[in-house]
Amino acid sequence: MKIETEIALLEEIFAEWQSLIGAEYLGYRNHVYRMVHFCQMLTDCDEQARQKILIAGAFHDLGIWIEDTVDYIPPSLPPMLAYLHSQGLEAWSEEIRLMITEHHKLRPYDDQALPLVELFRQGDLVDFSMGLFRFGIARSTVQEVRAAFPNAGFHAALARRAGRWFLKHPLNPLPMMKW
C-alpha cells in the first residue's frame, strides 16, 4: 500500500480545527493519518468506505480540544454530524457515530452489518498501542507508517491530560473506554 502523506479530505476537515488544536495539531494529524492507513491495510476499502473512515478519523478524538477533556467522545459527535449535514451525507450518521463511540471498546464490535465499526476500532488500536496490536499488519509496515507520520508528542499529550483527569476524577479514570 502506498503511504499518502496528504489526503485532501482530511486536510479540508482539519483546516477548520487546526487553530483550536493549536500546538498539538501535528500530533493529532499524524495520529489520524496513521490510523486511517492502518484501517485501509486491514481490508480492501471501496471509495465510500474510505471516505467514511477519513471522516470518522478526522473527528474521532476532536472533543479532546473542543472541551479540553479526556471524556472526549460525546463532544466529538456534534461537529461530525454538522459536517455530514453540510455535505448531504446524513445517511452515514449512525455508522460514523458508532465508529467514533466504539473506537475504544475493549472487546470487538460484533455487528456484522457494520464492519467499518470494528475495522475503525482495530485501526485506532494499532496506532494507540504503537503497534503492540497489529491484527495481521506486518511489524515493518507499522514501523514504516510510524516513520512517515511521527508521533509528534501525541501519546505524551494524551498521558498528561489523562493524569490531570485522574486527579480530578479518580473513580472514572478512563471515561472514553467501553467494555
Would you state the pLDDT for residue 171?
Answer: 80
Model-level pTM?
0.94
All structural domains of the chain with their residue ranges: 8-168
> Cell numbers 489520524 label which residue?
32
Q: Tell me what pLDDT residue 172 has.
A: 78
Q: What is the pLDDT of residue 135?
A: 96
- Distances 96 to 5, 15, 32, 118, 154 between C-alpha atoms, Å: 23, 20, 15, 11, 23
Q: How far is 122 from 135, CA to CA, in rounded Å?
A: 7
10-residue block means of pLDDT along the chain (179 residues)?
Answer: 94 97 97 98 96 98 92 95 98 98 94 96 96 96 97 86 81 75
